[in-house]
Amino acid sequence: MPDYDFRAPRLFVDAPLQAGETVALDRDQSNYLGNVLRLKAGDAILVFNGRDGEWQAELSGRKRADTLTVHRQTRPQDRLPDIAYVFAPLKHARLDYMVQKAVEMGASRLRPVLTRFTQVSRVNGERMRANVIEAAEQCGITALAEVADPVPLERFLTERAGDRLLVFCDEAADLGDPLQALQLGTGTDGIDILIGPEGGFAEEERALLLRQPKTLRLSLGPRILRADTAGVAALALVQAALGDWRPKG
């Protein structure tokens, strides 16, 4: 694992980052740094914007730390693996958890899809993005996962690139060795991991999915998993078999 500084506070800023740049903090950021972390002018933090890598910066301000000055780059910008996490939305707390864990596991895109048995039809995109940022801040990630608007499952399947591997996690699939099955997906141009709703997929949806090109129907074991747990399990399997958990070279 790279030599990260896990103790230094990290903050996402939506501004260009380069040596000597001064960045104004918004009120929420200033309150968080001063009232929660108890930081003051002169203290150092790490900042990133999802584009320019990670930088060391120094806080400044009179009554409270409301600006920062960028000093030096601590890590270059990295790239997330081309893994899209495609899921039926869940209710608030569990959706927050699912987004945070998908970011921690290295997903580069979050794609909500509406299925026949999806229980939640409206998704708060701003809340999802806030959870993406928070997870990236806490876990040393320099790139931000893209958050897409929800679309019906049929539309997603129509619009997705056919040369991408579709990992279709299906509770009705026969048990098998998931890592061995995923080895068949090497050399693909990106991966879409699909997790359905708590009620599972309708039969017509399952038939539609199985007709898609480059589809891998995957069992996640002998027990029925909740959707948020299934997402973590599937992302771990894909990262271990095809993603950036493996050594490079």
Residue ranges and CATH numbers for the domains of the chain are 10-75 (2.40.240.20), 83-241 (3.40.1280.10)
Element (H, E) at 129: helix 125-139
Q: State the pTM of this model.
A: 0.92
Tell me, what's the pLDDT at 187? 66
Q: Where are the beta strands (DSSP E) in 76-141?
A: 83-87, 109-114
pLDDT at 185: 67
pLDDT of residue 2: 56
> How many other C-beta atoms are found inside a 10 Å radius of the C-beta of residue 108?
19
Cα-Cα-Cα-Cα torsion 100, 90, 214, 248, nearest 10 degrees, comes to 10
Q: Averaged in consecutive runs of 10 residues, what is the pLDDT profile of the chain (249 residues)?
A: 76 96 94 92 96 96 90 95 95 92 97 93 92 96 96 96 93 88 78 93 95 92 92 95 82
> Does residue 139 sit in helix, strand or coil?
helix
Picking from 119, 68, 105, 83, the residue whose alpha carbon sits closest to that of residue 227 is 119
Residue 107 contacts by C-beta under 8 Å, 6 or more apart in sequence?
A: 80, 83, 84, 85, 145, 193, 235
